[in-house]
Structure 1
Amino acid sequence: MDKKEEILKVLSLNLRKVMAGSNLNFEQLQEIRLRVNKPLIVIYKNKEYFINKEYKFDSSKKNAYIVTQNEMRETMEYISNYSLYAFEDEIRQGFITIQGGHRVGVAGKAVTDGDKVKNLKHISFINIRLSHQIQGCATPILPYIMEEELVYHTLIISPPGGGKTTLLRDIIRQISNGAAEGKGTTVGVVDERSEIGACYMGIPQNDLGIRTDILDCCPKAVGMMMLIRSMSPEVIAVDEIGSREDMEALEYAINCGCKLIATVHGSSVDDIINKPLIGRLVKEKIFERYIILNAKRNIGYIETICDSRGTVLFHG
C-alpha cells in the first residue's frame, strides 16, 4: 500500500474525494489539518495551502472546503477502525499512529482525573502528519560519530521541525544494520511519542534496522532503565530529552556502558549550555559529538559537527 492509499483510507468519503481530486504528490505532503466548521488546510512542500471546493490549491480561505462535524466523526471511525476504546491509551497522549507510521494528532474535550488526562471526547481537531523516511540522510555524518565500530555519545541539536528525528532515525538504522563488511550494533530505542519507529499494532512502520529493539509510547526515563535491564543494548537512542528524570537515566545508561544518541531542541551548543539540566551534562563533557542542524537553511541541513571541546569537525 502506498502513502496515498494509507492516508485516503482513513479520511471520510467526502474528504477522500477532495484530497484525491487535488492531485497532490503525497510524497511531498506533510500535514492535513481538519477542524470542525473550519477550512481544510494542508502543509505541502513546507507551505500552507487551503483546498477549495473545486479541489484546487488556494492561498485564500475565501472558497476553501469547510470540514463538517459528520466528516470528522466518520474520519475518526476509520482511523480507530470503529473502536476508539481500543486506542484509549494513545488518545490520552493526544495521538494515534496509523498504518504506514503516519501520526494522527487529536484534540477535543479532555476527560481528567486530577491532573491526569484519562481520555478525549468530542474530538473536533485532527492533524495528520505524514511519515517520511529519508534513508541515507545520515551517511555523511557517520564518520564523525563513529570510529571503526565504536559509537560516540552524540547529541543532535535542532529547532522544532528542523529534521532531527529524521536524522536520528537513519543513524539508528545504519548503525543497527552495520556496513556490508562490518559489525552491526544492538540499539535500544525509547519511542515516547511513537515518532521514531512509528509502531502500528506493535510493529515499527519505519525501518530502524535489524538489531533494534523498541519501547513504544513509554516515558524516556523509565524506558531507558527497562531496556538496559532486559535487552542489553550497546547504544540507546531517544528523542527530545529535557527533564530531570531524562538526565538521571542518561547518566545511569552511561555508567552501565551504553553509548547514547539523543536529540534536544536548540540552536547551538551555547544555547544548550544555558539550559539548567542538560547544560550540566554539556559542561561535564558527557557528549563526545554535537550535530547542529539549521532549519533556516533547509530542513535537515547540517550546519556544524563538533566534539566535546568545541572543536569544529565539520562545517556545512
Structure 2
Amino acid sequence: MAGKKPSEDFGRWFGSNLAGIFLQIQDIALKDIEEIRLRIERPLLILGHHRELFIDEQGRTVAAEKGYRVQREDVLQALERMTQSSLYAAEEEMKQGFITLPGGHRVGITGEAIMKQGEVQTLKHISALNIRLAKAVEGKAELILPRLLTKEGTLHHTLILSPPRAGKTTLLRDLIRRLSDGSPALNLPGQTVGVVDERRELAGMWQGVPAYNLGCRTDILDGCPKRMGINMLIRSMAPQVVAVDELGHPEDVEAVLDALRTGVKILSTAHAATMSEALRRPTLKALFEFGVFERVVVLSRRQGPGTVEEIIVLAPTDRVHKEMVRGDAL
C-alpha cells in the first residue's frame, strides 16, 4: 500500500497483537520470510532461508519456550481478515485445507474436519495457520530454458519436480513469463500461454488483475480445477502452451492427455524430491507411462530455493538420460 512500510502492509492480515510484533521484528527482513506458523498455544514461528525463528512479544528471536504464545483470538482474527469477514465464502477453498490471499500467498489451515458422505465439507475449531508467502523472482528461467527448447524454439513438454518450499512455483511463473514475452537471444518467439491457476498462487489474481507478471501473451483461468480448465482454455483461447501447477489428481491425467491431442505444449509442476519418488505416485507414473513429458527439472533447497539438481531428458523410447547441471541456486 502506498505510503506504508512493508511491515505495516504485511500486518494487515493479522490482529493487533501479531501486527505489533511484526512491526518490531529485527532479526530477519520481512522480504526473507517464507512461512509464518500460527499454532494455538504454541510459540510464534517464522521460517526463512535455512533457519527458523521463534519470536517474542518484542519481535526478538528467542528460544521456543520464551516465544509469544499464539492465542485462539490471534488465529480467528487473522482468518477473519484473510477471508474479508466471510468464512462462508471461503468454505470451498477451506475444504481443500487452504485459502489463497491476493498476491498468491497460500494459507494452510488445520482444525476439525466436518465430513459428509466421505467428503470434507468444511473445517471448524481452527487450530493452526501456515502462511506461505509467494514471491516473484524474475530471471530464473533464463538459466535453464535453453535446455527445455527444441531447435525450432518450441517448448518440450516439461515437468518441474521439487519438495515443498524448493521454488517450483517461482520457477514456473518465470518460465511462463519468458515463454509469453519471447526472447530473441534464445531464438524464442513469444507464445500464447494458457494458465489454469487452480490454487490461485501462480498469478495472484485479484478482481481480474494478476499480481505477478506472467507475460504479455498469457491468459489466466483463475480458481478452476485443472480437469475442466485445461479444456476450457484450449477451446476458448487457443494457447500454444498450457501451464498448470501441482499435477497429482487422477483426473489430471485425462485432462493432460486431451490437451496433447490438440498439439499444445504442457508445462507443469508436481511434488517429488526425485524422479524415482515421482514414479511412485500413481498419477505421475501414468503420465510418464503415456510418454507425456520430454524434460524433467528437479529442484531442491540444497543451496537455497531453486537449486537445480538435474535436468532429465526423456527419449521417446522411454530411455532416460540424465543431464547433470551444477547444483546452484537459480
Alpha carbons of 1:289 and 1:51: their partners in 2 closer, same or farther (altered >3 Å)? same
TM-score (norm 1): 0.90
The answer to whether the 8 A contact 2:49-2:304 is kept is no
Specify which of 13, 17, 22 is matched with residue 20 of structure 2.
17
Amino acid at match of 1:315: V
Structure 2 residue 253 is matched with structure 1 residue 250: no
Amino acid at match of 2:299: L
Structure 2 residue 37 is matched with structure 1 residue 27: no
Q: Paired residue for 1:166?
A: 170
Specify which of 10, 14, 25 is matched with residue 7 of structure 1.
10
Alpha carbons of 1:84 and 1:234: their partners in 2 closer, same or farther (altered >3 Å)? same
Between stretches 277-286 and 249-258, larger displacement belongs to 277-286
Q: How many residues align?
A: 315
Structure 2 residue 113 is matched with structure 1 residue 110: yes
CA shift, 1:156, in A, is 1.4
Structure 2 residue 305 is matched with structure 1 residue 299: yes
CA shift, 1:82, in A, is 2.3
The answer to whether the 8 A contact 1:109-1:120 is kept is yes
Distance 2:190 2:249 in 1: 31
The answer to whether the 8 A contact 1:267-1:293 is kept is yes
Q: Paired residue for 1:47?
A: 51
Alpha carbons of 1:94 and 1:203: their partners in 2 closer, same or farther (altered >3 Å)? farther
- Aligned to 1:155, the other structure's residue is in SS state strand
Q: Paired residue for 2:95?
A: 92
Between stretches 251-260 and 208-217, larger displacement belongs to 208-217
Distance 2:290 2:83 in 1: 46
The answer to whether the 8 A contact 2:203-2:214 is kept is yes
Amino acid at match of 2:60: K
Distance 1:75 1:243 in 2: 30
CA deviations on 1:55-105 (whole Å, 9 max, x unpaired) are 2012x2221111222222222222222222332333333322223332222
The answer to whether the 8 A contact 1:234-1:259 is kept is yes
Structure 2 residue 104 is matched with structure 1 residue 101: yes
CA shift, 1:270, in A, is 4.1
Structure 2 residue runs of 5 or longer lacking an equivalent are none
CA shift, 1:164, in A, is 1.3
Q: Paired residue for 1:238?
A: 244
The answer to whether the 8 A contact 1:244-1:277 is kept is yes
CA shift, 1:271, in A, is 4.0
Taking only the aligned residue pairs, the percentage that are identical comes to: 40
- Aligned to 2:34, the other structure's residue is in SS state strand
TM-score (norm 2): 0.86
Distance 2:218 2:102 in 1: 20
Structure 2 residue 226 is matched with structure 1 residue 226: no
Specify which of 116, 119, 122 is matched with residue 119 of structure 1.
122
Q: Paired residue for 1:194?
A: 200
Distance 1:289 1:173 in 2: 19
Distance 2:11 2:105 in 1: 12
Alpha carbons of 1:61 and 1:313: their partners in 2 closer, same or farther (altered >3 Å)? closer
Distance 1:93 1:273 in 2: 24
The answer to whether the 8 A contact 2:7-2:22 is kept is no
Between stretches 105-114 and 32-41, larger displacement belongs to 105-114
The answer to whether the 8 A contact 2:196-2:224 is kept is yes
Distance 2:48 2:237 in 1: 40
Aligned-CA RMSD value: 2.3
Matches within 5 A, 1:260-271: 260-271=266-277
The answer to whether the 8 A contact 1:273-1:283 is kept is no
